[in-house]
Structure 1
Amino acid sequence: MTLRKPPIPRLLLNNVSCMRNAQQILRHVNVSVHDGGALVLKGTNGSGKTTFLRMLAGFTRPSAGEILWNGHNITESGVFHQYKLHLNWLSLKDAIKEKFTVLDNVQWFEILEGKQGKSMAAIELMGLGRLAKEKARMLSMGQRKRLQLARLLAIDRPIWLLDEPSVALDDEGVKLLEYIIKEHRKKGGIVIVATHLPIEMEDPMVVRLPPRFPRRMTLVDMLDRSGLD
Structure 2
Amino acid sequence: MSLRKPPLPRILLNNVSCMRNAQTILRNINVSVHDGGALVLTGANGAGKSTFLRMLAGFSRPSAGEILWNGHDITDSGVFQQYKLQLNWLSLKDAIKDKITVLDNVQWFELLEGKSGKAKEAIELMGLGRLMNEKARMLSMGQRKRLQLARVVAIDRPIWLLDEPSVALDSEGVKLLEHIISEHRKNGGIVFVATHLPIEIEDAMILRLPQRFPRRKTMVDLLD
TM-score range, shorter chain: over 0.9
TM-score, normalising length: structure 2 = 0.96
Once residues 163 and 22 of structure 1 are traced to their aligned partners in structure 2, the CA distance between those partners, rounded to angstroms, is: 24
For 1:140, the equivalent position in structure 2 comes to 140
Q: Quick one: which amino acid aligns to residue 104 of structure 1?
A: D
For 1:204, the equivalent position in structure 2 comes to 204
Once residues 100 and 106 of structure 2 are traced to their aligned partners in structure 1, the CA distance between those partners, rounded to angstroms, is: 10
Q: Quick one: which amino acid aligns to residue 121 of structure 2?
A: A
For 1:100, the equivalent position in structure 2 comes to 100
| Structure 1: gaps of 5 or more residues | 218-229
Deviations 1:135-165 (A, max 9, x none): 0000000000000000000000000000000
Structure 1 residue 86 and structure 2 residue 86: aligned? yes
Once residues 2 and 143 of structure 1 are traced to their aligned partners in structure 2, the CA distance between those partners, rounded to angstroms, is: 54
For 1:74, the equivalent position in structure 2 comes to 74
| Structure 2 counterparts to residues 60-209 of structure 1, below 5 A | 60-209=60-209
Once residues 211 and 100 of structure 2 are traced to their aligned partners in structure 1, the CA distance between those partners, rounded to angstroms, is: 40
Q: Quick one: which amino acid aligns to residue 183 of structure 2?
A: E
Structure 1 residue 215: Cα displacement: 5.3
Counterpart secondary structure, 2:88 = strand
Deviations 1:97-154 (A, max 9, x none): 0101000000000111111100000000000000000000000000000000000000
TM-score, normalising length: structure 1 = 0.93
For 1:36, the equivalent position in structure 2 comes to 36
| Structure 2: gaps of 5 or more residues | 218-224
For 2:222, the equivalent position in structure 1 comes to none
Counterpart secondary structure, 1:172 = helix
Structure 1 residue 216: Cα displacement: 3.8
Q: Mean Cα displacement is larger for which, 32-41 or 207-216?
A: 207-216
Q: Quick one: which amino acid aligns to residue 180 of structure 2?
A: I
Once residues 96 and 174 of structure 1 are traced to their aligned partners in structure 2, the CA distance between those partners, rounded to angstroms, is: 20
Once residues 23 and 123 of structure 1 are traced to their aligned partners in structure 2, the CA distance between those partners, rounded to angstroms, is: 42
Once residues 136 and 209 of structure 1 are traced to their aligned partners in structure 2, the CA distance between those partners, rounded to angstroms, is: 35
Once residues 9 and 216 of structure 2 are traced to their aligned partners in structure 1, the CA distance between those partners, rounded to angstroms, is: 41
Once residues 168 and 72 of structure 1 are traced to their aligned partners in structure 2, the CA distance between those partners, rounded to angstroms, is: 37
Deviations 1:55-110 (A, max 9, x none): 00000100000000000000000000000000000000000001010000000001
Q: Quick one: which amino acid aligns to residue 65 of structure 2?
A: G
Once residues 207 and 22 of structure 1 are traced to their aligned partners in structure 2, the CA distance between those partners, rounded to angstroms, is: 23
Q: Quick one: which amino acid aligns to residue 126 of structure 1?
A: M
Structure-2 change in CA distance of 1:148 and 1:25 (3 Å):
same
Report the structure number with the largest CA radius of gyration: 1
For 1:222, the equivalent position in structure 2 comes to none
| Structure 2 counterparts to residues 49-64 of structure 1, below 5 A | 49-64=49-64
Q: State the percentage of identical aligned residues.
A: 83
CA RMSD of aligned residues (A): 1.1
Structure 1 residue 213: Cα displacement: 1.5
Once residues 140 and 215 of structure 1 are traced to their aligned partners in structure 2, the CA distance between those partners, rounded to angstroms, is: 38
Q: Quick one: which amino acid aligns to residue 98 of structure 1?
A: D
